[in-house]
C-alpha cells in the first residue's frame, strides 16, 4: 500500500507552518477558561467580528487594512458576499458589557504613543465559549500593519474554526438522532445533522442527505471508494470522482442531474489542504450546475482517507438559494462536514 504523507508532505508542511506562526498566547487566561466550565455561550452573528478601538483611530488608521483582508469576497460564490462583517465598538462601550465581551470573534487595538514594543496576544475562551480574542498593542498604524500582515492568515483561520465550533454546538442540541445512528451503523462514521435533514438516497457506498425549505436547499452527498494512491488528492481526480458522485442527484426536469461548472476560468474549482478528524484532507470549492436544466450554486467538497479500512470518503456540501445570501447557509454545511469522526481509531495519516 501507499504512504500518504510521502506524497503530500509539502501540503502538510504548509499547514503546520501556518499553525506555528501565531501570536503570543495568553496561557493564564486559557487555563482559567478551561477550568471555568460555567462560561456562557458566545454570541454574535455568523461571520461577524467586532473591532474594539476608538472610532477615530478605526476610521482613519485601521479600517482599510481590516476591510481589505476580512471583507474580501468569499471565494466561489455565484454572487458577491464578503467573508466577514466588521463592527467597530468603542472601548468604553465594550468594557464590562456582556453583550460585546461574550461575542465569539473579538479583535482589539490599543494605541499608545509611548509604547516601546508592539505586541499581539491571542486568548481562547476568555469571556465565553467558543471565543477567540486577538488584542493588538501598538504605537501607530505602521506597527499595526506590520503585525497584522504577519499574523492575518492565522487570525482568519482561527476565527473560521470558532465559527465551525459554534455551529456544531448549536446543531448538536437539535441533532437528528435517527439519522446519526444510521450513518454510524451503515458507514462507520459520525456526522451531526440537526432536525430537518433527512436521507434522500441511501446505498452501500453512497448517501444523499438534504434539507429543503421555501427559500433554500442544503445537502451533503458522500461516496466511499477504495484508496489507491496519492493521486486521490489531485484536482483532476477529485473533479472526475465528484462528477460521478453528484450525477446521482437529479434535477427537476427528466434527465437533468448535477455536475461541476468548469467552463469559466474565474469560477474554476480551487483546492487546498486542510485537516478533518485530525487527518489530512483536501477541500475543493466551486460551483455546481444542472446538466439539462438551469440551476446552480456553490459547493465545498472534502476528500480524506479512512486508513483503518483503506477507503476514501468524498463528501460534497452544496447549497441552492437563488437570489438570497449564501455565505451563512454554506458555512453551516461546512461545519457539518468538518465535524466528521471515524468510529474506528487508526494511525490517521499513514497507510502501510
Strands (E) across the chain are located at: 24-25, 48-52, 85-89, 105-111, 119-124, 132-138, 189-190, 198-203, 206-212, 217-226, 257-260, 270-276, 279-291, 296-306, 311-320, 341-342
CA 164 to chain centre: 6
Residues near 207 by beta carbon (within 8 Å), at least 6 away in sequence: 183, 187, 199, 201, 221, 222
CB 26 within 8 A of CB 122: yes
The residue ranking higher by pLDDT, 214 or 267, is 267
So what's the pLDDT on residue 15? 39
d(CA 116, CA 164): 37
Q: Pairing relation of β-strands 217-226 and 311-320? A: antiparallel
- The pLDDT of residue 300 is above 50: yes
pTM for the predicted model, two decimal places? 0.87
So what's the pLDDT on residue 170? 95
- The pLDDT of residue 302 is above 70: yes
The residue ranking higher by pLDDT, 15 or 214, is 214
Looking up cell 496576544 gives 121
**Any idea what the Cα angle at residue 128 is, between residues 122 and 130, rounded to 5°?**
70
d(CA 188, CA 342): 6
**pLDDT, tens only, 246-259:** 999 999 999 999 99
User: In 10 A of CB 14, how many CB atoms?
Assistant: 12
C-alpha cell at 244: 460521478
Average of per-residue pLDDT values in the chain: 89
- The pLDDT of residue 28 is above 70: no
Domains and CATH numbers, the chain: 19-172 (no CATH), 175-342 (3.40.1000.10)
User: In 10 A of CB 276, how many CB atoms?
Assistant: 20
**pLDDT, tens only, 169-197:** 999 999 999 999 999 999 999 999 999 99
The residue ranking higher by pLDDT, 3 or 145, is 145
**pLDDT, tens only, 70-116:** 999 999 999 999 999 999 999 999 999 999 999 999 999 999 999 98
Amino acid at each position: 500500500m501507499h504512504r500518504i504523507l510521502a506524497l503530500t508532505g509539502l501540503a502538510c508542511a504548509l499547514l503546520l507552518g501556518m499553525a506555528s506562526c501565531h501570536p503570543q498566547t495568553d496561557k493564564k487566561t486559557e487555563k482559567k477558561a478551561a477550568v471555568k466550565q460555567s462560561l456562557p455561550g458566545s454570541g454574535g452573528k455568523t461571520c461577524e467580528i467586532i473591532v474594539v478601538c476608538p472610532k477615530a483611530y478605526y476610521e482613519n488608521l485601521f479600517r482599510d487594512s481590516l476591510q481589505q483582508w476580512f471583507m474580501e469576497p468569499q471565494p466561489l460564490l455565484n454572487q458577491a458576499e464578503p467573508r466577514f462583517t466588521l463592527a467597530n465598538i468603542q472601548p468604553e462601550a465594550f468594557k464590562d458589557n456582556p453583550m460585546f465581551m461574550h461575542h465569539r470573534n473579538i479583535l482589539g487595538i490599543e494605541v499608545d504613543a509611548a509604547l516601546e514594543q508592539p505586541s499581539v496576544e491571542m486568548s481562547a475562551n476568555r469571556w465565553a465559549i467558543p471565543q477567540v480574542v486577538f488584542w493588538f498593542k501598538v504605537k501607530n498604524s505602521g506597527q499595526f500593519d506590520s503585525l497584522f500582515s504577519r499574523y492575518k492568515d492565522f487570525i482568519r483561520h482561527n476565527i473560521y474554526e470558532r465559527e465551525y465550533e459554534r455551529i456544531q454546538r448549536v446543531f448538536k442540541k437539535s441533532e437528528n438522532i435517527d439519522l446519526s445512528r444510521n450513518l454510524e451503523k451503515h458507514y462507520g462514521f459520525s456526522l451531526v445533522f440537526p432536525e430537518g435533514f433527512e436521507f434522500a438516497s441511501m446505498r452501500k457506498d453512497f448517501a444523499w442527505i438534504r434539507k429543503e425549505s421555501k427559500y433554500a436547499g442544503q445537502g451533503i452527498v458522500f461516496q466511499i471508494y477504495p484508496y489507491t494512491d496519492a493521486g486521490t488528492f489531485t484536482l483532476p481526480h477529485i473533479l472526475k470522482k465528484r462528477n460521478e458522485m453528484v450525477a446521482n442527484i437529479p434535477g427537476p426536469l427528466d434527465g437533468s442531474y448535477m455536475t461541476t461548472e468548469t467552463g469559466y476560468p474565474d469560477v474554476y474549482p480551487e483546492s487546498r489542504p486542510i485537516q478533518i478528524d485530525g487527518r489530512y484532507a483536501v477541500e475543493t470549492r466551486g460551483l455546481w450546475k444542472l446538466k439539462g436544466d438551469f440551476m446552480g450554486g456553490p459547493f465545498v467538497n472534502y476528500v480524506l482517507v479512512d486508513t483503518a479500512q483503506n477507503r476514501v470518503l468524498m463528501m460534497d456540501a452544496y447549497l441552492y438559494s437563488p437570489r438570497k445570501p449564501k455565505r451563512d447557509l454554506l458555512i453551516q454545511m461546512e461545519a457539518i462536514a468538518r465535524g466528521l469522526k471515524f468510529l474506528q481509531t487508526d494511525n490517521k495519516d499513514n497507510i502501510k
